[in-house]
Every structure is written in C-alpha cells, then in structure tokens.
Structure 1
Amino acid sequence: MPIRNIAVGRPDEAYHPDALKAALAEFFSTLIFVFAGEGSGMAFNKLTDNGSATPAGLVAASLAHGFALFVAVSVGANISGGHVNPAVTFGAFVGGNITLLRGILYWIAQLLGSTVACLLLKFATGGLTTSAFALSSGVGVWNAFVFEIVMTFGLVYTVYATAVDPKKGNIGIIAPIAIGLIVGANILAGGAFDGASMNPAVSFGPALVSWSWENHWVYWAGPLVGGGLAGLVYETFFINSTHEPLASV
C-alpha cells in the first residue's frame, strides 16, 4: 500500500543543495506559470473592458494556462520534477514519491513564486488588480469543492500516468504536453463556475496581493483532496509492487 512508502525525510534534506536547487526550480516554474496565466486574464480585461468572464475570455484563459503550464513543467522536470502545484506535490507525497520535508520546501517555493509573479504583475501594469479566484453566481461552496476535487484528480492522475509511473516508457516525453492539455480542458469545463484553480499556489498569490480571501479554503481543500486521492489510487492500483524507492539526496 502507498501509505507504507510515505517518508518524512532526513533533517539534512531541508538544506541539502539538491533539495534547495529543486525548490528554486519550483519557485521559477511557478512564477512563470502564474505570471502568464494571471497576466493573460489581466490583459484580456484591459483589452475588452472587463470581459474576461465571457466565452472568449474563458478560451483565452484555457490556452494561456495550458501553454504556460507546458513550459513551466518542461523547464522544471529535470530538476524538481516540475510539480508547479502544491496539490501535485501532495499527491506525490501520498504515493510515497517525495518526502514530507522536500514537499514542504516545494510548497514554500510554489507559494513564493505565485506571490512574486502577482506582485510583478501589479507593478508592471501600473497597479491593476490581480483578481482572486471566486465562485460564480449561483455556485455554492460545496459545488466548487466537488469541481476542484474532480478537476485536480484528473490533473494529478495525468501527472502520475505520464511522469511518475516507472512503466511509462517513452510516453514520458509527452508528460508536459498532457499536463498542460488537461489543465486547459478543465478550465473550459470548470472555469465558468469557480475559475478552475486546481492549484492552491495559483489561488494564493492573487488572493494575497489583492487581499481577497472569500471562500479561499475551497481552493486549498478541493485540490489537496483531489490530488491526494489521485496519488493514492494510481499508486495502489497501477504501480503498487513496482514502486521505485525514494531518490536519495
């Protein structure tokens, strides 16, 4: 069972050069992703007089996030695994593929990357608002909670199938493409309801910079539950006895 593979990690992992380099890679990958994704929404709003909540705005958000995540995962894959998302990191931890200490380093780096990206956007745009994720009219918190669980499950399941599974073979080269595509598709499915975050870091940066925290817990609880379930399911049913041990650092 995956639970047996969960590891806290050694104390020296918190300051080991390889772990710190991996965290730095997560910082830059998340910064790149959030800057492009959040920035595309701000640009669309400017060009259309606050028209990002239109069908065209939804398509633009889907394309921007899909392309940006493809790049962000690609540039970080060989250093940190290209998580770019606390829910992905949590899913990897639940499946026994990253230690708790390294996971915490990743979380800190991801949240900082998102925050810095939003601060840079606010400065570069002359003070425009970095819009926090919010529920659409008629959408309740539990509706959004289920949306975030299901969408993040699909995302982390895709990560496991294309990047984590030791049996993936040559399919591993398309991992960043597949991950970007599932995020873009999920935005088309859920963006009109709750913004389709699937990523606590993506939600955290704009919320912090704009200081808007309404229903913010949904964008943490949903992705973490979905990511954890995906890691547990894939590791249990499709990897299990072929699990590779945690890499030494």
Structure 2
Amino acid sequence: MPGFPFNIWSRIRSWFVAPDAHRSRLTKLISRVSVEFTACMMFHFIGSISPTPWANGIALTVLVYYTAKISGAHLNPAVTLTFCLLGHTHPIDALMYWVAQVTGCAAGALWIAGLVPGLNMRNAPSGEFQALSGCFTPAAALTPFQVFAWETVSTTCFIVPIFSVVWYTQHKNGYGNSGPLIVGLSLAANALACGRFTGASLNPARSLASPIVFQCPYPVYSYVLGELLGGILATLAVVPWYGISRSAWYRVPSFFFGLTMKNQRSIKLQTISEVDSVVQTRVQLPSTISASDICDEASAPSSPGLASIQEV
C-alpha cells in the first residue's frame, strides 16, 4: 500500500492545521461512533438475553436498519476491518469504531449484570440464568485451535454476503431496503451452523464484552483472533467479485482489478454509445462523427476535445 503511513499522517495533521474545515466532519464522526456504541450495547444485551440464532439475526436486522444511514451499520470489529482493508473506512475511523463497538457491548454486559438475578460482576456466571451472561462456551471436546478455526470460517461466511448488499446498493440500485434482511439472515444461518460448537459469536466485540464484566470460562483469544482472521479472509473473497472502493483511502495501481488511481479525475467510458453521448454533450461535435472515428483519433496529441473529456 504505497503512501500508507503518509496518508494517515497527512490526515492527522490536517485536523490541527485547519480545524474549522473539519468541524463538520468531527461532528459526523461523533454521531457515527455514538450510534455504533448504542447499537452494539443493545445488540449484546438482546442477543445474550435471548441466545438463539433467530433472535440474534432478527436483532441484527433491526439494528442495521437503525444505523445504516448514519454509521454504515458495522456493529462488528471484523466487519469494520474488512471495510477498512477494502478502502471504505479509514484506519482512524476504524479505530474509533472498534472502541465504540467493544465499549458498547461491554455496556450491554453491564445491563445483564444489573438486571439478571445471579449474575454478578467479576464473578463466574452461575445459577438458573447463567446461560444469559453473554459468555460463549465452546463444546467440551473442542481444542482452542478448533474454536479458532470454527470462528474464522463462520465469520468469513457471515461477512462475504454483506458485500453483495453494499456493492449492488451502491452501483446497481439493487437490494436497497431489503439489505438488512440479508445481513440478519447471514448471521442466523451461520449461527445455526456453528452454534453447537462455539456458541457462534462471530463478533470480536461480543467475544470481549462479557469477559470484561464476568469471569467467562473460555479462551477469549481463540474467538477474537479467529474472527479478525475471518474479516481478512472475507476481504480476499470479496475483492475478485466486487473490487476495492473507488474512493479508497489508500492508493490502488490502475491495473489492479480495473480500478483507477485515487483522486485521478477521469470518467470511465465503457461502451461505444457512452462515448457518443459524452462527445456530443461535452464537445458538441456533429452527429455524423461516430465513436469509431473518435477512437481512431484518441492517440493524436492535437485533439483538445478528447483531452478535455478525459480530464473532466
């Protein structure tokens, strides 16, 4: 990723050099982070009190509807990591999201400790309602590595369908309001598949939240590392079909997946009819001049009309 550390430094410096220019952006970032915190708090609370795949899937669907237009409805550090690697979310924003997601889920665990009888802070869950603590308990026969592998595979399978929603909604006007349903169904399906083995956390924030409040008897690192690796593998699975964001925060070689360099001001002429349309509109050439004539003259240095099209 050429220029990776310099892009981050330039962004940090710009906040101090021109604070007024970024005041509105700061307000938007605070709004997005606050929504992520609130939604994660509700998601961990509801998903723990009703620890079934369908309840978690329905809760996630509702919360995605609630947050989609504000924060992008990540609600999961692994999803945020995938968005970041694909160029949709800047690392600084991703870090803020991670903090909001983990602290939000931890706040949801505090709700559980305060409202559910027999569940006390810093104590191992016990009693009639110990299954409602939000602690994910793997099957007794599983090793920590198997827990890691299950969470990796399940998180990857959960995240990949999400990007069909993102891509088609952005580029093809598809799915639209039905997008959150696909996200919730993806979670429910994967939870039904692996829940009997690991409890199906599929979310590093939820894996960390209850152990922060209670003494959960499971290998937290196996869950968190597996889920983050799942986010990375989901990136590799998404790129060949849906590519990298055209407005990625890092620079992408122009030959890489057919994407242009960041901040390169150009238009993509995909079809001959589009060439004709742009030429007639921008250059106002006679209609008798065809797109094939334009293409034949594309390499000529004395063609100011075509140069102006390429540098709109």
- The aligned amino acid for 1:32 is M
Q: CA deviation at 1:191?
A: 0.6
Deviations along 1:218-243, whole A, 9 cap, x unmatched?
111111111112123312x12337x3
Contact 1:149-1:223 within 8 A present in 2 as well: yes
- The aligned amino acid for 2:60 is L
- Alignment of 1:17 with 2:27, yes or no, is yes
Q: Residue 108 of structure 2 corresponds to which residue in structure 1? A: 117
- Alignment of 1:157 with 2:148, yes or no, is no
C-alpha distance in structure 2 between counterparts of 1:99 and 1:85, whole Å: 16
C-alpha distance in structure 1 between counterparts of 2:152 and 2:213, whole Å: 25
How many residues are aligned here?
A: 224
C-alpha distance in structure 2 between counterparts of 1:4 and 1:137, whole Å: 46
Contact 1:160-1:231 within 8 A present in 2 as well: no
**Structure 1 residue matching 2:206: 3-state secondary structure:** helix
Please show how residues 129-208 of structure 1 align to structure 2 within 5 Å.
129=125, 130-164=133-167, 166-208=170-212
Q: CA deviation at 1:4?
A: 6.4
Give ranges in structure 2 of 5+ residues lacking alignment. 16-21, 120-124, 126-132, 250-312
Q: Residue 57 of structure 1 corresponds to which residue in structure 2? A: none
- The aligned amino acid for 2:44 is V
C-alpha distance in structure 2 between counterparts of 1:160 and 1:135, whole Å: 29
Structure 1, 162-171 or 187-196: larger mean CA deviation: 162-171
TM-score by length of 1: 0.82
Deviations along 1:57-89, whole A, 9 cap, x unmatched?
xxxx11110011001111110001000000000
- Alignment of 1:66 with 2:76, yes or no, is no
Please show how residues 84-99 of structure 1 align to structure 2 within 5 Å.
84-99=75-90
Contact 1:5-1:95 within 8 A present in 2 as well: no
Deviations along 1:87-123, whole A, 9 cap, x unmatched?
0000111111100000000000001110111101110
Give ranges in structure 1 of 5+ residues lacking alignment. 42-60
Q: Residue 97 of structure 2 corresponds to which residue in structure 1? A: 106
Structure 1, 154-163 or 90-99: larger mean CA deviation: 154-163
C-alpha distance in structure 1 between counterparts of 2:109 and 2:159, whole Å: 25
C-alpha distance in structure 1 between counterparts of 2:27 and 2:156, whole Å: 32
Correspondent of 1:224 among 222, 228, 239 = 228
Alignment CA distance shift 1:81-1:146 (3 Å):
same
Q: CA deviation at 1:134?
A: 2.4
CA RMSD of aligned residues (A): 2.3
Contact 1:69-1:179 within 8 A present in 2 as well: yes
C-alpha distance in structure 2 between counterparts of 1:149 and 1:156, whole Å: 11
TM-score by length of 2: 0.66
Please show how residues 3-82 of structure 1 align to structure 2 within 5 Å.
8=8, 10-11=11-12, 12=15, 16-41=26-51, 61-82=52-73
C-alpha distance in structure 2 between counterparts of 1:5 and 1:160, whole Å: 26
Q: Identity of paired residues, percent?
A: 29
C-alpha distance in structure 2 between counterparts of 1:104 and 1:239, whole Å: 24
Contact 1:95-1:232 within 8 A present in 2 as well: no
**Structure 1 residue matching 2:50: 3-state secondary structure:** helix
Structure 1, 29-38 or 9-18: larger mean CA deviation: 9-18
Alignment CA distance shift 1:195-1:95 (3 Å):
same
Contact 1:163-1:172 within 8 A present in 2 as well: no
C-alpha distance in structure 2 between counterparts of 1:162 and 1:113, whole Å: 25
- The aligned amino acid for 2:162 is V
Deviations along 1:114-152, whole A, 9 cap, x unmatched?
011110111012342424222211112222212111111
Alignment CA distance shift 1:192-1:5 (3 Å):
farther
Q: Residue 54 of structure 1 corresponds to which residue in structure 2? A: none
Please identify which structure carries the higher helix content: 1
C-alpha distance in structure 2 between counterparts of 1:153 and 1:72, whole Å: 21
C-alpha distance in structure 2 between counterparts of 1:4 and 1:225, whole Å: 23
Alignment CA distance shift 1:34-1:169 (3 Å):
same
Larger RCO, structure (CA 8 Å, separation 6 or more): 1
